[in-house]
């Protein structure tokens, strides 16, 4: 049995798919159609009771949810790919910090944009819940952009010319609710990172399927 990944296009499953593509590790992709709310249906909720994608099932049947945990699991199980810096090093601590920052804050806020009804029982407050989440997402990215600028590495990736799983994660999530018109002037390093991830030979077709197909 190989890995099974539950996901959908234009979702957080891009990162895991990208890591498997970079590593050349086979996996079975099972689509959970978010537009049809398949994530809320019983067969899938037996696997992930939280009702979100992505979910990774390891070859021994162990279930891993939460995109940051999935990313770290794949990297740890395939150390030959060197896709995440050794967590005992300063680079590893930095990567872990910003991985969790994006997961805990930005991905969380994306959920508030998409499902404001989960955060208020008052119909008339939904628009303000969504608006504040959108503005938080941008502010959170600006803080990350500032961090990249302060490190002043040559780029295009977080660790200069070395691609890591964190780059796939940043590229995955930074496109949501931040059109290029905003990213270009406000987050140029993040935008350059996105373009470099998109241009990677093993990722360009995957990128097109996730983010450029209707």
Which of these ranges, 50-58, 132-140, 149-157, 192-200, lies near ligand GSH under the rule CB under 6 A?
A: 50-58
Exactly one of 6, 12, 20, 74 binds ligand GSH (CB under 6 A); that residue is 12
Q: Which of residues 145-204 bind ligand GSH (CB under 6 A)?
A: none
For residues 113 and 106, what is the distance between their CA atoms, to the nearest angstrom? 11
Contact flag: residue 100 with ligand GSH (CB under 6 A):
no
Exactly one of 39, 164, 174, 178 binds ligand GSH (CB under 6 A); that residue is 39
Binding-site size, ligand GSH (CB under 6 A): 14
State the minimum distance, in angstroms, from the CB of residue 24 to ligand GSH.
24
Cβ closest to ligand GSH, residue 51 vs residue 188: 51
State the minimum distance, in angstroms, from the CB of residue 196 to ligand GSH.
22
Secondary structure, 3-state, the chain: CCEEEEECCCCCHHHHHHHHHHHCCCEEEEECCCCCCHHHCHHHHHHCCCCCCCEEECCCCCEEECHHHHHHHHHHHCHHHCCCCCCCCHHHHHHHHHHHHHHHHHHHHHHHHHCHHHCCCCHHHHHHHHHHHHHHHHHHHHHHHHHHHHHCCCCCECEECECCHHHHHHHHHHCCCCCHHHHHHHCHHHHHHHHHHHCCCCCHHHHHHHHHCC
Cβ closest to ligand GSH, residue 96 vs residue 192: 96
Exactly one of 3, 5, 9, 11 binds ligand GSH (CB under 6 A); that residue is 11
* Cis peptide bond N-terminal to 156, omega within 30: yes
Contact flag: residue 107 with ligand GSH (CB under 6 A):
yes
Q: Which of residues 113-132 bind ligand GSH (CB under 6 A)?
A: 115
Q: Which of residues 52-71 bind ligand GSH (CB under 6 A)?
A: 52-54, 66-67
Angle between helices 13-23 and 165-174 (to 10 degrees): 150
Contact flag: residue 111 with ligand GSH (CB under 6 A):
yes
Residues that bind ligand GSH (CB under 6 A): 11-12, 34, 39, 51-54, 66-67, 103, 107, 111, 115
């Amino acid at each position: 049995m190989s890995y099974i990944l539950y996901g959908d296009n234009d979702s957080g499953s891009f990162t895991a798919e990208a890591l498997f593509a970079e590593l050349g590790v086979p996996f079975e992709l099972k689509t959970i159609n978010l537009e049809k709310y398949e994530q809320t249906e019983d067969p899938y909720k037996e696997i992930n009771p939280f009702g979100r994608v992505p979910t990774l099932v390891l070859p021994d049947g162990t279930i891993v949810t939460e995109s940051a945990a999935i990313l770290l699991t794949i990297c740890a199980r395939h150390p030959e790919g060197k896709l995440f810096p050794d967590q005992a090093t300063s680079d590893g601590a930095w990567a872990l910090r910003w991985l969790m920052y994006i997961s805990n804050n930005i991905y969380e806020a994306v959920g508030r944009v998409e499902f404001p009804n989960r955060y208020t029982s008052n119909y008339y407050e939904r628009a303000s819940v969504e608006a504040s989440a959108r503005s938080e997402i941008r502010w959170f990215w600006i803080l990350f952009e500032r961090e990249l600028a302060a490190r002043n590495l040559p780029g295009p990736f977080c660790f200069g010319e070395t691609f890591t799983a964190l780059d796939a994660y940043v590229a995955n999530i930074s496109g949501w609710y931040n059109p290029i018109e905003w990213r270009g002037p406000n987050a140029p390093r993040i935008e350059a990172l996105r373009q470099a991830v998109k241009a990677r030979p093993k990722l360009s077709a995957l990128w097109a399927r996730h983010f450029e197909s209707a």
